Amino acid sequence: MTENGLMDGTRTEKLFYNDSHLSKFTAMVLECEPYEKKEGCYAVELDRTAFFPEGGGQYADTGKLKDVKVSDVREKNGRILHITDQPFEAGEIVEGEIDWETRFMKMQQHTGEHIVSGIVHARYGFNNVGFHLGTEDCTMDFDGEISKEALQEIELEANRAVWKNLTIEVSYPSKEELEELDYRSKIEIEGQVRIVSVPGYDICACCAPHVECTGEIGMIKLVNMQRYKGGVRVTMLCGSRALTDYEKKQEQNRKISALLCAKEYETAEAVGHLKEELDSLKRTLVEKERQLVHVWAQSVPEEEKTVCMFSEDISADAMRQYVNEVLEKERILCAVFYGNDAAGYRYVIGSRTQDLRAFSKMLNVAFEGRGGGKPEMVQGTVKGEARKIREWIQKIAEELSYEK
């Protein structure tokens, strides 16, 4: 890399390499052409830019040239292309401004990722085989398993690096120097290699801009970990994202604390007690429903051979219980429907004497239904009025009794 920030084959001076905090700049338009990947957009090439193009796991900067929005920045064949919705003239002088808050947030995440990856590699020998800086969080994929306890230690050590406020070092070693350097790299790199170092924590090849010192990261929080392709995927939030996440969770915890009349550090215990009470009430409700269904089943007159019941408040288990208890006496069939005319009905139908699979198909055709099952019991859903469904059930059941 030369002193003015130019790389081989690139006509644009990369100001973000000389000053990652530069948010405003002046440049001259070298070329402007229609952008082939999006109709109505243009690809603008400048002689110098503070806009970082997508690369190294970090998505591109956005901002504006003059008052024209820059929605994306791409590097293609050594050319840095600023994607806009209005054209510019070659030779035109423009003022550029990047979305600084977003850039700074991305640098916080990216430098945080270097620190965490460096610690994981040094302590456990695992490599970062996948890094994604998304719009909501940042994920890192490691090729080995990490325990929850180890993850807590990694997080603590990463934050120690933040508290030390270490200066981030950037260098462009020669080929000979590079051969002697022990550094991390996710891919094979051709040409000039840019090395980003966090002293005592990480040395890695990287093309993206970073914070100037680790203190700018503010906080590193590892919020989730899951098994992934033989290793683990760790989700991380740094800086402003970590603060926003904490504020949201604190607000939720504060609301839970108020609702349960519990101290903020005792909400989990309070929720546990509430869940125990709820589970107990559910068990009581299930038992009461079982008893009620038993009474319903026993109250069906013995001479009633086709039983059809509609309810707006009955569980699936209770529906099956009712059918089975009713069928303990000699019946043609027993049908239970749960729901209402407007929303439709779920059904369970049973018989000890009939194969109900054909019956279910006819019911589904007659009332826009879906479902099926075994010869002795079918279940599904139908649409229609309870009165018409009941009449249909009675009619078909009578035909079945005649066939018998």
Residue 180 neighbours by CB under 8 Å, 6+ apart: none
Tell me, yes or no, whether 233 and 306 share the same domain. no
Tell me, yes or no, whether 117 and 30 share the same domain. no
Tell me, yes or no, whether 124 and 67 share the same domain. no
Using CA atoms in the order 202, 52, 194, 220, what is the torsion angle rounded to 10 degrees? 0
3-state SS string over 187-214?
CCCCCCCCEEEECCCEEEECCCCCCCEH
Domain annotation covers residue 254:
no
CA angle 245, 205, 139 (to 5 degrees): 25
Tell me, yes or no, whether 217 and 171 share the same domain. yes
CATH number at residue 156: 3.30.980.10
Maximum alpha-carbon separation in the chain = 100
Tell me, yes or no, whether 41 and 175 share the same domain. no
Mean pLDDT across 1-17: 65
Confidence of residue 56 (pLDDT cuts 50, 70, 90): confident
Tell me, yes or no, whether 171 and 306 share the same domain. no
Over the stretch 275-297, which tens digit does the pLDDT of each residue have?
999 999 999 999 999 999 999 99
Domain annotation covers residue 267:
no
Mean pLDDT across 197-203: 95
Q: Which residues pair with 334 in a beta bridge?
A: 307, 350
354 backbone φψ class: left, alpha, beta (φ>0; ψ -120 to 50): beta
Tell me, yes or no, whether 181 and 68 share the same domain. no
Tell me, yes or no, whether 304 and 386 share the same domain. yes
Tell me, yes or no, whether 113 and 60 share the same domain. no
Which has the closest alpha carbon to 47: 8, 13, 89?
13
Neighbours of 372 (CB within 10 A): 13
Residue 174 above 90 pLDDT? Answer: no
Last residue of a domain, one of 52, 68, 98: 98
Over the stretch 307-357, which tens digit does the pLDDT of each residue have?
999 999 899 999 999 999 999 998 889 999 999 999 999 999 999 988 999
Tell me, yes or no, whether 39 and 58 share the same domain. yes
CATH number at residue 356: 3.10.310.40
Count of domains forming the chain:
3
Tell me, yes or no, whether 53 and 150 share the same domain. no
Backbone angles phi, psi at 205, to 5 degrees: -75, 130
Mean pLDDT (the chain) is 91
Neighbours of 224 (CB within 10 A): 12
What span, in angstroms and rounded, lies between the C-alpha atoms of 309 and 289? 16
Domain annotation covers residue 272:
no
Q: Are 26 and 96 in contact (CB under 8 A)?
A: yes
Three-class SS of residue 328?
coil
How distant is the alpha carbon of residue 277 from its chain centre? 32
Domain annotation covers residue 270:
no
What span, in angstroms and rounded, lies between the C-alpha atoms of 195 and 238? 22
Tell me, yes or no, whether 20 and 148 share the same domain. no
Confidence of residue 401 (pLDDT cuts 50, 70, 90): low
What span, in angstroms and rounded, lies between the C-alpha atoms of 304 and 298? 12
So what's the pLDDT on residue 84?
95
CATH number at residue 54: 2.40.30.130
In which domain, by residue range, is 231 found? 104-247
Q: Are 220 and 112 in contact (CB under 8 A)?
A: yes
Domain annotation covers residue 88:
yes
Domain annotation covers residue 293:
yes
Domain annotation covers residue 264:
no
Q: Residue-wise over 265-280: b if at least 16 C-beta within 10 A, else e?
A: eebeebeeeeeeeeee
Over the stretch 249-269, which tens digit does the pLDDT of each residue have?
999 999 999 999 999 989 999
